[in-house]
Amino acid sequence: MATPVQRINCPPFTDQRPGTSGLRKKVTRFAEPHYLAMFVQAIFDAVGDLKGATIALGGDGRYYNREASAIILRMAAAHGIAKVLVGKGGILSTPAASNLIRQRGLKGGIILSASHNPGGPDGDFGIKYNATNGGPAPESLTEAMFKLSQTLTGYDILDDSAGKIDLDRIGTQQLGGMSVEIVDPVADYADLMERLFDFDRMRNWLKGNRMLFDAMHAVTGPYAEEILAKRLGASAQSLLNFVPKTDFGNHHPDPNPAHAEELMARMWAADAPALGAASDGDGDRNMIVGAKLAISPSDSLAVLAANATLIPGYAKGIKGVARSMPTSRAADVVAAELGIESFETPTGWKFFGNLLDAGRVTLCGEESYGTGSDHVREKDGLWAVLFWLDLLAATGKSVPAIMDAHWRRFGRHYYSRHDYEAVDSDRANEIVNTLRQRLPDLQGRAGNGRRIELADDFRYQDPIDGSISEHQGVRLVFSDGGRLVLRLSGTGTEGATLRLYLERFEPKTGVLDLEPQVALADFINLAEELIGIKRVSGRAQPDVVT
């Protein structure tokens, strides 16, 4: 006898607007009756044509992950989905989910994560849909989800009598008329990494060198155990905070110097390992650290592009490189010398998807510690760590030596991001809108030996499908190659986050060995003069400097 489908009637919620990374709210909001289910209904209705389809489901294991998985599975069965592949324990890193969708030819997948945001009962939760190419849903689909969420009057779900799925038992189970296959969340991803990198070379390197990987009590812990420890032979001491926790050990799972304090202390010690690295809540971000040297994500992308042919998976060369607009222009310089295309896109990994699918680019990167390639359609934290590890093994050089050689060849882009978090939304919008209004007056302004050659609000026209995205961040580009960029971030759940990006270029004939905040001091002062974040917000300093 078929398990009955229930129609639960309830009014729509008016705050369910997904951002560039899906819908993110506090756990307490998602746990309210019907809240998650109504947005899942919007996803299913917007995607459409799901009867008989197979999709993936998994998340970063944060608080409420299991409860959300149970709701989504009952709803998937009620909508006629034939099969759902679920990571054991409800776990799938975001890049592993993308790989699973692509390798298995799935219709798409639902990923439960708030990325690098804090977890726990009082923390954040998130949900997003990835399309059949394995990448985040395009803007047209997320906008359709939002519009539907404003008009829905209820959702369909299997009755409680359908039973429950054991998320911890690998194998196939039934839920109503739907198959649920619990899969090893690591195996397919680890096999892909073996096809891209020289594991023998890295294994030999690790016999004589040490590394330290901080999983930040997040999803990459099991992936690091399998790949770094079991397959590559790294010692148990190489893994830091590798046991996943629903509250990420009560820490902020964001891989940057401000939040990876233990890793940074170890990398600045006299006996520092040769390579330090960290990943975030859902495994799509990375931070690379050498002995007493933190590598900016912008520089990391440029180094990977310049040295890609040393890596087996990219030995034939790369087709092109893409970066988000706020990311430094270091990769552009490399692309120009290599004679390949370079692209500047809005922030949000989905903007890279068309370029990757069209074969126009191979490597992509964002300044917010996200780097990836055409192997999946998401940024990939552990992939970036393995790329650096294989590069060290291939060259026999240290991280500082690689960076020194790169800067001498291509010049150095001193770069930093200053975050002002949980700013009053009205004041944050006032700061951005006032700057937008002043752009015509700033164009061509000269002072302190610099001239503003470009003052605009970034507008992007996709070179593949022609779609247009406007108001993607204010740019002030100077005659000496420096830049100031200001944008409002949509990744937080409280107030507004203002991000100020500062960039100064020193050509290869004049490389300076300065601490970035020192090198950027005059740009920091100029930003306050032109934009006035501190003056208007009342903040004495940024909350986070990276």
Catalytic residues: 115
CA distances from 77 to 134, 137, 141, 159, 255 (A): 22, 22, 22, 10, 37
Q: Helix axis angle, 399-410 relative to 330-338, nearest 10°? A: 70
The count of residues in the chain is: 546
Contacts by residues 202-208 (CB-CB < 8 Å, ≥ 24 positions apart): 202/232, 202/386, 202/389, 202/390, 202/393, 203/232, 203/233, 204/393, 205/389, 205/392, 205/393, 206/232, 206/233, 206/234, 207/233
According to DSSP, the residues that pair with 463 across neighbouring strands are none
- Distance between CA 340 and CA 186 in Å, rounded? 34
In our burial notation (b when 16+ CB lie closer than 10 A, e otherwise), range 220-253 reads bbbbbbbbbbebbebeeebbbbbebbbbbbebbb
Q: Which amino acid is at 66?
A: R
- Distance between CA 288 and CA 300 in Å, rounded? 8
- Distance between CA 141 and CA 274 in Å, rounded? 44
Ramachandran region, residue 460 (left: φ > 0; alpha: ψ -120 to 50; beta: rest): beta
DSSP helix/strand/coil, 180: strand
- Distance between CA 39 and CA 484 in Å, rounded? 37
- Residue whose pair of structure tokens reads 């090198």 in the numeric block: 519
Query: Quick check: 274 and 264 in contact, CB under 8 A?
Result: no
Query: Quick check: 183 and 96 in contact, CB under 8 A?
Result: no
- Distance between CA 440 and CA 430 in Å, rounded? 17
Q: Return the number of other C-beta atoms located less than 10 Å from residue 312's C-beta.
A: 16
Question: C-alpha angle 446/449/455, rounded to 5°?
Answer: 40
